[in-house]
């Protein structure tokens, strides 16, 4: 197995250059390939059949060392927990995302989308370019908190948004600075002290909410079918069965808030930018909305749960966005036992990295990979591609537990906004020119700006029909 005995490529570029390095490695060396990140040895796996073996193996459930600095955000939450904790956490959290709860959450999705719609009506009057991300972020964080029945005052909500952003910056920065890796050193730095202060604020706020729900639940019997428990109530109740500490409950709630709000925000924002960047595709999405809702506005006819099943082209657009911009661009696993990959035996303890973003942008599997083409996901075309060519939510036992929740929330927001607004850019941008930050959750280096224009339903219907 090739050994790249230098880490220069990974150290020279904190922001996004890692994608180019991964692509060059994959072109030059066969999978699996051994390489260094800083002083740590990792094994990269790029081939779909090999990826399938890793993700579906019961001996590849532990998370890689690349998540170590995400622990400062998530503690022992579902994303970063060692497998013995993850198994219990998964059992505790899974009921929150069942079909019954998704239907219950749908009202929150629709309500928050309408609030965002009203907010954007004022902004549309100015006809200025805006950084749309912050409006989506506020909406989605509201969705995440409301579906968990976490009540936050407006100022606390804003502080949470700032805290999440800053913690991600710190984790990313620390990952690329070898001298900050030891906790004993990092904790003595100004950045280490700042991180501790932010985490103390978040944990105290969540802990207070947990205690309030516990006090409330003293009068509630969870086995009473007439009681409509919130997802936070369900977490608290199941934590008694799994014997979780208060800290572990708090870590999982923070994990759900950050990963849920961040991934939905980023994908929704990128879809809207793609629609602005490719107006013909935007018109096709709008035509589909007209077929479903006619001339009715979102305020008079909000999105309903059953409508989602009819949004076939919008589904293709979201999937194509996730192909090019997977929210989690890299997956890391630590082998719990020896594993055979191709002609190689990877020893127990090996840290494996799966670059989803490379797989999704590989022309071997996706012709013209940087061309935005939602038609790739039409039923007759997607059948031709093996499932492991496309894994935006990972796969296997440790896949994304909230993928259905996320997809529904994204479509509700988009279906609401596309009916009310036209999204535009002053100048279209080639996808290859969109620079990315790659760590745990994908982001863009430079903010993507768009203009929004309120739709004239009558004129647009004549134009499309």
Instruction: Tell me the C-alpha to C-alpha distance, in Å, between residue 23 and each of 46, 70, 115, 121, 207.
Output: 10, 24, 41, 42, 43
Task: Decide if 66 contacts 357 (C-beta within 8 A).
Answer: no
Task: Decide if 441 contacts 22 (C-beta within 8 A).
Answer: no
Secondary structure (DSSP) of 321-338: HHHHS-SS-EEEEE-SS-
Task: Decide if 347 contacts 338 (C-beta within 8 A).
Answer: yes
> For residue 455, which of 425, 419, 424, 426 has the smallest C-alpha distance?
419
Please check if 400 is assigned to a binding site: yes
* β-pairing verdict for 421-424 and 344-346: unpaired
Interacting residues of 447 by C-beta distance below 8 A, sequence separation 6+:
131, 133
d(CA 257, CA 402): 11
Place of tokens 């019954």: 100
Instruction: Tell me the C-alpha to C-alpha distance, in Å, between residue 311 and each of 282, 374, 411, 465.
Output: 13, 13, 8, 18
* β-pairing verdict for 33-37 and 3-4: parallel
> For residue 349, which of 42, 16, 80 has the smallest C-alpha distance?
42
Helix (H) or strand (E) holding 339: strand 339-341
d(CA 423, CA 235): 39
Annotated binding site for heme: 400
Mark the binding-site residues, compressed into ranges: 400
């Amino acid at each position: 197995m090739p050994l790249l005995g230098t880490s220069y490529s990974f150290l020279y570029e904190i922001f996004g250059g890692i994608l180019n390095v991964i692509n060059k490695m994959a072109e030059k060396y066969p999978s699996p390939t051994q390489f260094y990140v800083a002083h740590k040895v990792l094994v990269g796996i790029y081939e779909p059949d090999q990826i399938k073996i890793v993700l579906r193996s019961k001996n590849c459930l532990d998370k890689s060392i690349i998540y170590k600095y995400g622990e400062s955000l998530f503690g022992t939450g579902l994303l970063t927990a060692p497998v013995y904790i993850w198994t219990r956490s998964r059992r505790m959290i899974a009921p929150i995302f069942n079909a019954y709860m998704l239907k219950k959450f749908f009202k929150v999705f629709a309500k928050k989308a309408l609030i965002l719609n009203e907010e954007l009506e004022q902004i549309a009057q100015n006809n200025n370019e805006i950084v749309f991300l912050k409006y989506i972020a506020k909406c989605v964080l509201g969705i995440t908190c409301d579906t968990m029945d976490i009540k936050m005052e407006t100022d606390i909500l804003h502080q949470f948004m700032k805290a999440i952003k800053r913690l991600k910056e710190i984790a990313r920065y620390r990952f690329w600075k070898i001298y900050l890796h030891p906790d004993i050193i990092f904790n003595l730095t100004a950045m280490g002290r700042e991180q501790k202060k932010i985490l103390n604020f978040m944990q105290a706020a969540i802990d207070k909410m947990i205690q309030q729900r516990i006090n409330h639940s003293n009068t509630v019997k969870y086995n009473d079918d007439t009681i409509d428990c919130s997802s936070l109530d369900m977490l608290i109740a199941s934590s008694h069965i799994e014997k979780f500490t208060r800290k572990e409950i708090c870590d999982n709630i923070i994990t759900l808030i950050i990963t849920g709000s961040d991934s939905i925000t980023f994908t929704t924002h990128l879809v809207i930018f793609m629609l602005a960047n490719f107006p013909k595709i935007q018109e096709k999405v709008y035509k589909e909305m007209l077929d479903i809702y006619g001339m009715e506005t979102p305020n008079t006819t909000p999105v309903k749960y059953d409508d989602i099943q009819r949004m076939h082209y919008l589904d293709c657009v979201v999937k194509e966005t996730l192909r090019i911009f997977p929210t989690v661009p890299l997956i890391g696993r630590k082998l719990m036992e020896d594993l055979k990959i191709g002609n190689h035996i990877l020893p127990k303890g090996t840290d494996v990295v799966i670059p989803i973003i490379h797989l999704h942008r590989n022309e071997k599997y996706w012709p013209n990979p940087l061309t935005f083409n939602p038609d790739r996901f039409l039923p007759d075309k997607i059948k031709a591609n093996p499932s492991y060519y496309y894994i935006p939510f990972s796969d296997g036992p440790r896949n994304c537990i909230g993928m259905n929740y996320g997809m529904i929330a994204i479509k509700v927001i988009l279906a609401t906004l596309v009916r009310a607004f036209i999204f535009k850019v002053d100048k279209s941008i080639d996808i290859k020119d969109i620079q990315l930050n790659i760590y745990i959750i994908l982001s863009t280096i430079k903010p993507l700006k768009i203009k929004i224009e309120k739709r004239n339903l009558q004129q647009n219907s004549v134009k499309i029909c």
